[in-house]
Amino acid sequence: MNRVLQMSLIMKKQYFNDIVNRMTIRIFGAPGSGKSTKALAMAKEHKLPILHIDDVLFRTKYTEQRPESERHAIIQAFISKHTDRIIEGATLGSYVQYMQQADQVIHIDTAYIIRLWRVIKRYIQLYGTKEAHTLQ
**What is the side-by-side strand order in the sheet with 24-29?**
50-52, 85-88, 24-29, 104-108
How many CB atoms lie under 10 A from the CB of residue 33?
22
**Residues in contact with 90: Cβ distance below 8 Å, sequence separation at least 6, in sequence order:** 28, 29, 30, 31, 35, 53, 54
The fold of the 3-109 domain, in CATH, is Rossmann fold (3.40.50)
Helix (H, G, I), strand (E, B) or coil at 25: strand
* Domain segments of the chain as ranges: 3-109
Reported as a single tens digit per residue, the pLDDT across 59-104 is: 776 678 888 889 889 988 998 899 899 999 876 565 666 677 788 8
Q: Which of 68, 113, 67 is nearest to 94 (CA)?
A: 68
DSSP character string of 30-54 = STTSSHHHHHHHHHHHHT--EEEHH
* Residue 50, strand partner residues: 86
**Global pTM value:** 0.70
**DSSP state letter for 58:** B
* pLDDT value, residue 77: 92
Reported as a single tens digit per residue, the pLDDT across 21-66 is: 556 889 988 899 999 999 999 999 889 999 998 888 887 766 788 8
When computed from its CA atoms, the radius of gyration of the chain, rounded to whole angstroms, is 16
